[in-house]
């Protein structure tokens, strides 16, 4: 699952995003019901840093992936993308420049997440949004031109990431492989688990594709007016919480 807009409602400032209590309770009980032999592996894959999301969710034993899956940590799994580490110096330099350049745009700010950056403009007046985007484009132009970084849109935000072939779908594929759900000698590949991915934004489309490529489920969280490749949809983070409660009931009955 993604975090912002999926487990937690979107808010004006990312530091204020919190899961509803009922959602956290469902995750805690799901984790407890599937221990010590996990019938269900719960993972959070987010644009936030790994340290941020793990502290924000605060449930031991889950799998956490930060920076769109560039860093992953969980039971028997520890991963940091080596190429992203090489580009970290460029990320740091761009962040320092953005802090200075965005100061002229009230409401806009850059969030440093270790291996990537996010520029938030949700609090910027509508007539100044274009100027914010121009400032970001100008600030990252050199790093983009030399192939270090890439800029992609999010919900009232711009994501600035290492320019490497890695996304949330890549992270899901790596996690599935690490969990051993694919028998090594199967041809064609056969998986004995169901992969489900919940997300709400453009970067989550890669996650939906990865889940659905395994015969699993992509679940988009948002209105029916929004375009998505996911085969399933929930209206809101509240419905994600309700779905987790239903899953909890299923595992409780099976236990």
C-alpha closest to that of 221 among 206, 239, 203, 209: 239
C-alpha closest to that of 115 among 150, 74, 77: 150
Could you tell me the two tokens for 168? Answer: 């949330």
154 by Cβ neighbours in 10 Å (0-12 / 13-18 / 19+) ranks as middle
201 φ, ψ to 5°? -135, 175
Q: What is the DSSP string of 203-243?
A: GGHHHHHHHHHTT-EEEEES-TTS--S-SEEESSHHHHHHH
Q: Which of 2, 52, 200, 201 is catalytic?
A: 2
User: Which residue stretches of the chain are H helix?
Assistant: 21-33, 50-57, 82-101, 129-145, 168-179, 205-213, 237-254
Active-site annotation holds for 2? yes
Handedness of CA 97, 89, 77, 169 (dihedral sign): positive
The DSSP call for residue 58 is: -
**Strands 232-234, 217-221: pairing kind:** parallel
**Strands 43-45, 217-221: pairing kind:** unpaired
Q: Annotated active-site positions, please?
A: 2
């Amino acid at each position: 699952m993604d975090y912002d807009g999926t487990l937690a409602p979107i808010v004006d400032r990312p530091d204020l995003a919190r899961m509803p209590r009922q959602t956290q309770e469902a995750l805690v009980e799901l984790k407890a019901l599937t221990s010590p032999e996990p019938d269900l592996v719960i993972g959070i894959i987010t644009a936030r840093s790994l340290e941020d999301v793990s502290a924000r969710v605060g449930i031991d034993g889950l799998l956490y992936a930060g920076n769109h899956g560039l860093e992953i940590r969980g039971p028997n799994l520890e991963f940091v993308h080596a190429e992203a580490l090489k580009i970290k110096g460029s990320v740091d330099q761009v962040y320092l420049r953005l802090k200075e350049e965005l100061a002229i745009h009230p409401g806009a700010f850059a969030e440093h997440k270790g291996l990537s950056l996010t520029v938030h403009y949700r609090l910027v007046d509508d007539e100044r949004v274009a100027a914010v985007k121009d400032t970001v484009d100008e600030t990252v132009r050199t790093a983009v031109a030399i192939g270090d970084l890439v800029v992609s849109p999010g919900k009232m935000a711009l994501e600035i990431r290492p320019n490497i072939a890695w996304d949330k779908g890549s992270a899901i594929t790596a996690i599935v492989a690490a969990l051993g759900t694919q028998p090594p000698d199967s041809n064609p590949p056969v998986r004995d688990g169901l992969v489900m991915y919940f997300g709400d934004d453009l970067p989550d489309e890669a996650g939906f594709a990865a889940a659905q490529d395994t015969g699993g489920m992509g679940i988009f969280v948002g209105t029916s007016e929004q375009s998505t490749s996911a085969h399933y949809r929930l209206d809101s983070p509240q419905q994600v919480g309700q779905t987790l409660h239903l899953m909890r009931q299923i595992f409780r009955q099976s236990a």
